[in-house]
Structure 1
Amino acid sequence: MRIAIDAMGGDHAPYAVVEGAIAAAEEWPDTKIILVGDTAVIEPLLQGKKLSNIELRHASEVIEPDDEPVKAVRRKKDASMVVAGRMVKEQEADAMISAGNTGALMTIGTLVVGRIKGIERAALAQMFPTIDGAGVLVLDLGANVDASPEQLVQYAVLGSLYRSKFHGLTKPSVGLLNIGTEAMKGNELTKAAFPLLEQAPIHFVGNVESRDVLRKPCDVIVCDGFAGNIMLKSVEGAASVIMSELKKEFMRNFLTKLAAAIVKKGMLQMRKKMDYTEHGAAPLLGVSGLVLKGHGSSNSYAFKNAVRQARIAIQNDLVRSMSSEISNGSEM
């Protein structure tokens, strides 16, 4: 299998990208990793390591975080992210990973790689940690700020198929993110989407509130990208503050340090559950190739885990099987 990585995308690129790629290449020698970007910058970071399954592909341009997505993709034809997307489209790579500009990656997924037939918009889907350790898949997390009721139904189908194909769930339950559990709660979008979701070929369980997400009210939660991105960043921010404050309290005096030593193992397990680097990257569901979006702050461990995710998806023939299910209109 061949995985193209945008080596220039992300807050810690290219250093963290290359480190993660080296770790992944050493662990999975059967996987060819193609680092796409400025080879003059990337090559010295390999530190002379001659790994037969790491390949460099030169790209002379970079899409910056503040670039306007559509314009950047159209004007910067030789940007690392665009080149990686083109490799997936032309089947030179089985998957691509980038931690760069989200809007640009969405544009590449739509205009370069292309959507699955019957899907209007792709969606970013990510596993949220839950107290039972199983996790819940949430989409959309920001690929599209707005969505129509019909598009929320498509997200639900995509998310349900993903959990079925990727995680082996036989009948994934799907909930609609809302401000209350009653059927008529919410804004015009959620009120219009609710009856459509009831009729969709999924196991719809109704509305769910954001306060219950970490308790795993269902297997898949759908929402528009605006609400989803706010929820994602709220959870990340809350987790960061809580862990920071706990650390401060545990270091206050001898007795609290003793208490910290007693609960250290449990705290580390909880921290691991909430750590986005464990999940690696979020797949862009609905495009006709495997595209994964890493967190902008991804470190080398996150990039390695993104490769792990891509490998599993390729092994399960995820995109082809999802495309086949959607085109056949099969019920879940």
Structure 2
Amino acid sequence: MNNRPRIAVDAMGGDIGPSVVVPGAVSAAKKNGIDLILVGKPGEIEDELGKLDTDGLAIEVVEATEIATMKDKPTDVVRRKKDSSIYVACRLVRDGNADGFVSAGNTGATLACGIFVLGRLKGVERPALASILPTEKKPLVLVDVGANVDAKASQLIQFGIMADCLATTVLDYHNPRIALLSIGEEEGKGNSQIKQAFDMLRSSSLNFTGNVEGRDLFTGDVDIVVCDGFVGNVALKLSEGLSTSLARLLKRELLGNLFSKLGTLLSSGALKRFKRLVDYAEYGGAPLLGLNGIGIVCHGASNEKAMMNAVKMAARYMENGANDRISQRITESSDLTRFSRGRQSA
């Protein structure tokens, strides 16, 4: 019996499409023993497969006649583009033909398809996007980074529980430290939502360490940071833009004159390690937590390396039973019994 992960990949997603998605997915399959279902326009997919060494790999091409573009509203994709590559990929997971899906396409459409096609895990009010960020010590899980621009305090608790499962099952963290992203470290800082969530987290079974500010995200002193999707997305995009600008500034300074170039040559190993640490492609994509199935959402500008690591992450998520553990934790959580949605205000 073949127990290898079988991942459905939206081959048409992303800014570039099959020319990046297909080779990235194939690299993941080759290096990690993953079976692939590439979803999209067969002609374009097979053209890319023809350029690659696929001997010994289990790759299936499933046709989807439509593409969810960045201009499409999420609800329109769910209602009117049911043969789009992302919708078909989700349907493959729902019907048990794939263990998870990966897409670098329209994030809103991907989220909508995930919710309406796969559904939510029992007990989950709202699925959340979790991004894995580099820090000075070890990777950090930031949740939510865009799925919910508004969230109740009780939903932030759920985000924390789901992120805790992700950190323990995929990142192998023991009793991960959880913090709230706020405008100050002290208790009582933040808006009403954060203050309420602070009290709830403090009395929960999670390893809550208090508030953190934006400047603390990359110290590595906590393992999970919880916030709503509006704040999280701003923090994520700021960190991405900052790392890109720093890399450009560093390159400009190091290549400025002969002595700088000589120093660059001597420190090339350290510079390569630095680049790897701040490269979003190392982590592939953002797991969509709380769905009744595994979904990884990637940057639209993802390169081959990012797609490879996203497919690898989906496979590891399946192998470690992360979704089952999230479902069990949510169902059994005494925290959610005490902090029921009926007791929370918007």
Q: Same fold (TM over 0.5)?
A: yes
Q: Residue 227 of structure 1 aligns to a residue in which SS?
A: helix
Is this contact kept in 2: 1:208–1:217, CA < 8 A?
A: no
Aligned twin of 1:95: 100
2-side partners of 1:259 and 1:98: how far apart? Answer: 40
Letter in 2 for 1:263: S
1-side partners of 2:268 and 2:134: how far apart? Answer: 19
Aligned twin of 2:38: 35
Q: Residue 130 of structure 2 aligns to a residue in which SS?
A: strand
Q: Residue 267 of structure 2 aligns to a residue in which SS?
A: helix
The answer as to 2:82 corresponding to 1:77 is yes
| Equivalent position to 1:123, from 116, 119, 128 | 128
Q: Residue 307 of structure 1 aligns to a residue in which SS?
A: helix
Q: Residue 214 of structure 1 aligns to a residue in which SS?
A: coil
Structure 2 alignment gaps of length 5 or more: 336-346
Letter in 1 for 2:48: L
2-side partners of 1:61 and 1:38: how far apart? Answer: 8
Is this contact kept in 2: 1:157–1:201, CA < 8 A?
A: no
1-side partners of 2:261 and 2:293: how far apart? Answer: 50
The answer as to 2:206 corresponding to 1:220 is no
Aligned twin of 2:193: 189
Q: Normalising by structure 1, what TM-score?
A: 0.96
Residue 25 of structure 1: how far off its partner (Å): 2.6
Is this contact kept in 1: 2:161–2:329, CA < 8 A?
A: no
1-side partners of 2:329 and 2:69: how far apart? Answer: 36
Residue 22 of structure 1: how far off its partner (Å): 2.2
Aligned twin of 1:47: 50
Aligned twin of 1:310: 314
Q: Normalising by structure 2, what TM-score?
A: 0.92
Q: What's the CA shift string for 1:57-85, capped at 9, x where partnerless?
A: 00000100121111222110100000000
Deviates more, 1:282-291 or 1:316-325: 316-325
Letter in 2 for 1:66: K
Aligned twin of 2:343: none
| Equivalent position to 1:108, from 110, 113, 123 | 113
| Equivalent position to 1:275, from 272, 275, 279 | 279
How many residues were matched structurally?
329
The answer as to 2:33 corresponding to 1:6 is no
Residue 328 of structure 1: how far off its partner (Å): 2.2
2-side partners of 1:241 and 1:27: how far apart? Answer: 32
Q: Residue 167 of structure 1 aligns to a residue in which SS?
A: coil
Residue 179 of structure 1: how far off its partner (Å): 0.8
Q: What's the CA shift string for 1:23-63, capped at 9, x where partnerless?
A: 223223x4210000011221111126554411100000010
Letter in 1 for 2:189: K
Is this contact kept in 1: 2:161–2:326, CA < 8 A?
A: no
| Equivalent position to 2:290, from 286, 301, 305 | 286
Structure 1 alignment gaps of length 5 or more: none
Q: Residue 160 of structure 2 aligns to a residue in which SS?
A: helix
- RMSD over aligned Cα, in angstroms? 1.4
Q: Residue 291 of structure 2 aligns to a residue in which SS?
A: coil
Give % identity: 40
Q: Residue 170 of structure 2 aligns to a residue in which SS?
A: helix
